[in-house]
Amino acid sequence: PPVIDALIKDGKIVAGSRADIGRAGLGVAVRAGAPKPDISSVDAFKRTLLAAKAVAYPGKGASGLYFVSLLDRMGIKVEMQSRLKPMAAEDTVEVVARGEADMVVVVSTRITGVPGVDVVGPIPAELQTKIGFAAGLAASAKEPDAAKALIRFLTAPSAAATLKAKGVEPH
């Protein structure tokens, strides 16, 4: 179950305040100015991964585990082992900007706005997974009206363009 549901059950988030904001899938980025590889199909993505010298991904968390499972599913986990760069969350994309990895595969929201990288695009739909983003009112909120206003703002149709620009498909 989603983390927010557990927080509601534990009384840390006010029941009935959950609001789904949107979803984001895995994306690929390369160093700014580098040629953008072909990731338009499963076969193209597989060839691109196999051609890379180093591929960064989150070393911990659901998206990193999912990416490693995809390598196994595509039958290239063994070949990719020496090229994989599991990274700490705060450095996953930045290693590509510094030239320490050829590409990164990570939740698309993590790629947008990072200086020194260019977004290639989402991984192929057949391999894609979606990570949900939700909000809720903390039971301990010191400014509950402001928190409710923020939740309304994030879920309003007017927020859709900003969410999309940050890699989120609005709910």
| More reliable by pLDDT, 54 or 171 | 54
- pLDDT at position 2: 75
Q: Who wins on pLDDT, 150 or 166?
A: 150
Q: pLDDT tens, 86-120?
A: 999 889 999 999 999 999 999 999 998 899 999 99
Q: Is the pLDDT of residue 1 over 90?
A: no
Other CB atoms within 10 Å distance of the CB of residue 92: 27
pLDDT value of position 152:
95
Q: What is the SS3 assignment for 161?
A: helix
> H helices of 10-159, where?
42-51, 62-73, 77-80, 94-97, 108-111, 144-155
- Pick from 70, 8, 127, 18: nearest CA to 84: 70
Q: What count of other Cβ atoms lies within 10 Å of the Cβ of residue 1? A: 7
Once rounded to an integer, what is the mean pLDDT over residues 24-43? 97
Q: Is the pLDDT of residue 39 over 70?
A: yes
Express as a percent the part of the chain with pLDDT over 70: 99
